[in-house]
Amino acid sequence: MSRRRLSLAVVCAVLVVLCTVPALGAQKVTITFGNFSAGSDNEATLAAMKAAFEKANPDIEVKLHSTGYGEYFRLLQTQIAGGTAPDCYELNYENFVAFAAKNALVDLGPLAKTTGVSFSGYDANALDAFKYNGKQFGVPGSYSVVLLFYNKDLFDQAKIPYPNDDWTWNDVIEAGKKIRALGDDIFGIYQPVQFWEFYKTIAQNGGSLFNGDQTKFTVNSPENIEALQYMVDKVIKHNIQPTEAQKSGQGDWDIFAAGKVGMIVTGNWAFTFMKDAAKCRWDVAVEPGNTQKGCHFFSNGYVINESSKKQEAALRWITWLSSSQESSMLRVEAGWETPPVSDESVINAYVAQRPPENRKAVFDSLKYLVTPPVIEQFNEMAAIVDLQLEKAREGEKTPQQALDDAQRELEQKIKL
């Protein structure tokens, strides 16, 4: 072969390499990601997710900025004001709505079309929660639901069938009475009488804190009064739920784990604690409702900073982090909340873990989502309602009086 022909062959070979390895010599895009939920318990899991993503996406480097929840939002507000916010970051649902309303977030719909990114891998209900005014401003990163935990041993002793999907509030009361009869220090149920439980419980009775277009408070509606009556009757009328004095300073998880309470309403984030601490056989069910079912939906989502110059790379990261099979399996193995995906292999892996036996109830609950009510003065609203709920729980006011007073104060102090 002549030197000329050899040179042509070498040139052709080099061109082939350059065409087939487009990343060769290309600069990496570095994006920043702010988060609060990894904490010390899951920092290693997030680092493993980052490493797996960068291996599959060698053109992107992710810099993690982890901050404790207590400082996170104050820092984020300062960064946004100063133009130094991360390219993408984590928001809980309540703050997501507030940020979207202030035009601080990128509309992911058009961006997904230009980059070819799909949202098809998400659970539809979880994905829809991160829409605002019909636009997809975020993707769910993980979620938790609240369930009815129950002590199988106490149910067996009281000769009561275990809770099922047909249960209503009345079934809870009747089962609670029979379990309460097992001993002076045994109680039927524990469900906090406070704002976070109240807005979900009124939804189970067809109630709401606002009218349809959220221009007026409806806190003292007949549906809401009936719901609060149900909540306080468990404490005052039936005493199937311990008073604060009867709890003797013990936490609700602790008294359930000790086998002293037949049922407790709490989140699937308690699975790991109960697995290690519970001295009874236990399982979970979708929480009963009254006129309809309603289940808490707590979710942390991922969003892109409207001012970011690296939006395409940020979208690839947050969608991989929240919906890829590899990331989802890392989350399942770590017990770090629940992946918001429709992938059957991920769901089956989560459901197969024990305990509880009925982990499927976590996914069944997604059909009955009740999201937190979000207004600009959220914390002030919650504090006003909480004070009146406490007075009703302690018997200082009737549910009617407590909610009438809450309605009056909200109308005076909160702008809708």
DSSP line for 344-377 = HHHHHHHHHSSS-TTTHHHHHGGGGEEPPP--TT
CA 363, CA 338: separation in Å to the nearest integer? 9
Q: Looking at the predicted structure, is the pLDDT value of residue 371 above 90?
A: no
Alpha helical stretches, state H, 183-335: 195-203, 222-233, 244-247, 252-257, 271-277, 311-323, 325-334
Residue 376 lies in a domain: yes
> 216 and 203 in one domain?
yes
> 208 and 162 in one domain?
yes
Closest C-alpha among 147, 133, 70, 91 to residue 299: 91
Q: What is the pTM of this model?
A: 0.85
> 243 and 192 in one domain?
yes
Helix H or strand E segment including 111: helix 108-115
Residue 10 lies in a domain: no
CA distances, 12 to each of 7, 25, 295 (Å): 9, 18, 63
Closest C-alpha among 414, 392, 413, 393 to residue 402: 392
Q: Looking at the predicted structure, is the pLDDT value of residue 25 above 50?
A: no
Q: Looking at the predicted structure, is the pLDDT value of residue 179 above 80?
A: yes
Q: Looking at the predicted structure, is the pLDDT value of residue 340 above 80?
A: yes
What's the pLDDT band for 26 if we cut at 50, 70, 90?
A: low
pLDDT, one tens digit per residue, over 250-281 is 999 999 999 999 999 999 999 989 999 999 99
Provide the domain count of the chain: 2
Residue 288 lies in a domain: yes
Q: Domain of 176?
A: 145-296+369-413
Residue 390: CATH number of its domain: 3.40.190.10
Average confidence (pLDDT) over 303-319: 97
> 272 and 188 in one domain?
yes
> 384 and 256 in one domain?
yes
> 37 and 48 in one domain?
yes
CA 86, CA 104: separation in Å to the nearest integer? 12
What's the pLDDT band for 375 if we cut at 50, 70, 90?
A: confident
Question: Which of 319, 346, 362 is at the close of a domain?
Answer: 362
Question: Which of 362, 379, 399 is at the close of a domain?
Answer: 362
> 276 and 164 in one domain?
yes
> 159 and 281 in one domain?
yes
SS3 content of the chain, % helix, strand, coil (to 5): 50, 15, 35
> 271 and 210 in one domain?
yes
> 290 and 251 in one domain?
yes
CA 304, CA 108: separation in Å to the nearest integer? 8
Residue 190 lies in a domain: yes
> 337 and 285 in one domain?
no
Helix H or strand E segment including 13: helix 3-20
> 223 and 109 in one domain?
no
Average confidence (pLDDT) over 359-368: 93
Mean pLDDT, rounded, of the chain: 91
Q: Looking at the predicted structure, is the pLDDT value of residue 146 above 60?
A: yes
